[in-house]
């Protein structure tokens, strides 16, 4: 192979070429991560919305027990003047907490119980358990 043949076939890889290849590879990976995160957030938001709908299904039950159901982005809460039960959806799981408002400063209820669950049904079940614990 002579230098004339080599020049016509391809040029040698340069630092600039290697940089551009690596930069493009990293950008593609970043976009994949961003898309996966966006998709997960959409799923978490959908699960929070589904839980809200399930909790609001029986307005008479809520009113009888003086409960207020609310959703703020990924968190669905059941509020009572003495306690708060909340489910926070993140990364495909839900963290369900029970906080006592009687012993805390207003707006700063400290969690007394906390469980992490995998499914919407488990979140609903744990919230019901916590509610029974508080209404005995």
- pTM, two decimals, is 0.76
pLDDT, residue 101, reads 80
Whether 10 shows a pLDDT value over 90: the answer reads: no
- Dist CA 31 CA 34 (whole Å): 5
Q: What is the pLDDT of residue 102?
A: 76
Asked if the model's pLDDT at residue 116 lies above 70, the reply is yes
75-79: strand order across its sheet: 68-72, 75-79, 83-90, 93-100, 110-117
Token reading at 68:
């207020």
pLDDT value at 126 more than 60: yes
> Can you name the residues that pair with 68 across neighbouring β-strands?
79
What pLDDT was estimated at residue 108?
59
The pLDDT tens digits of the residues spanning 61-100 come to 999 999 999 999 999 999 999 899 999 999 999 999 999 8
- pLDDT for 25 equals 97
22 SS3 class: helix
Q: Are strands 68-72 and 75-79 parallel, antiparallel or unpaired?
A: antiparallel
User: Looking at the predicted structure, is the pLDDT value of residue 125 above 50?
Assistant: yes
CB-CB contact of 124 with 54 (8 Å): yes
């Amino acid at each position: 192979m002579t230098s004339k043949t080599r020049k016509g076939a391809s040029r040698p890889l340069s630092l600039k070429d290697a940089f551009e290849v690596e930069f493009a590879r990293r950008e593609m990976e970043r976009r994949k991560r961003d898309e996966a995160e966006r998709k997960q957030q959409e799923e978490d938001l959908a699960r929070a919305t589904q839980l809200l709908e399930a909790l609001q299904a029986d307005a008479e039950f809520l009113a009888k027990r003086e409960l207020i159901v609310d959703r703020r982005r990924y968190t669905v809460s059941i509020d009572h003047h003495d306690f708060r039960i909340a489910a926070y959806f993140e990364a495909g799981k839900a963290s369900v907490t029970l906080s006592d408002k009687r012993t805390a400063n207003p707006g700063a209820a400290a969690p007394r119980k906390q469980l992490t669950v995998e499914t919407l049904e488990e979140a609903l079940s744990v919230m019901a358990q916590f509610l029974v614990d508080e209404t005995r």
